[in-house]
Amino acid sequence: MKTFGIAILGCGTVGSGVAKILLDMPSALSDRSARPIELRKIVDLSPTKSSEKYNIPLDLYCGGGKDLTPEEASRFISEVISDETIDLVVETIGGTGDYLLSVILDALKAKKHVVTANKAMLAERGSVIFETAKENGVTLGYEASVCGAIPIIKAIRESFTGDQVQEISGIMNGTSNYILSKMELEGIDFKPALKMAQKAGYAEADPTLDISGGDAAHKLAILIRLAFGKEIEYKDLMKEGIQNIDKEDIEIANEMGCSIKLIGFAKKIDGSIFASVKPMMVRHGNLLSQVNGATNCVELINRYSGRHYFIGAGAGSLETASSIVADIVFTARYGVVVESSSGPQQLELVDADHFEFPYNITFSTEDRPGVTGLVTTAIGGQKINIDTVSHNRRNKKDAVFSVVTMPCTMHQIRDAIGSIKRGSPGLLTEEPKAIPILQ
The whole-angstrom separation of Cα 282 and Cα 95 is 32
Sequence-distant (6+) residues with CB within 8 A of 287 are 297, 299, 309, 311
Residue 142, class by beta-carbon neighbours within 10 Å (0-12 exposed, 13-18 middle, 19+ buried)? buried
**Closest listed residue to residue 20, CA positions, set 328, 330, 325, 333:** 325
The whole-angstrom separation of Cα 276 and Cα 217 is 8
Sequence-distant (6+) residues with CB within 8 A of 332 are 4, 33, 34, 35, 37, 87, 88
Residue 219 known to be catalytic? yes
Task: Kindly name the residue from 41, 182, 219, 268 that is annotated as catalytic.
Answer: 219
Helix or strand (DSSP H, E) at 108: helix 98-109
Ordered DSSP codes for 290-334: G--TTEEEEEEEETTTEEEEEEEE---HHHHHHHHHHHHHHHHHH
Question: What is Dmax (Cα atoms) for the chain?
Answer: 83
**Closest listed residue to residue 243, CA positions, set 289, 273, 203, 208:** 208
Q: What angle do CA 360, 362, 367 make, to 5 degrees?
A: 145
Dihedral Cα 32, 36, 41, 46, nearest 10 deg: 40
Contact 225, 165 (CB under 8 A): no
Q: How many residues does the chain have?
A: 439
How far apart, in Å, are the Cα atoms of 253 and each of 169, 180, 388?
A: 19, 12, 13
End-to-end CA separation in angstroms for the chain: 52
Count of other CB atoms within 10 angstroms of residue 393: 16
The whole-angstrom separation of Cα 188 and Cα 210 is 19
**Active site residue ranges:** 219
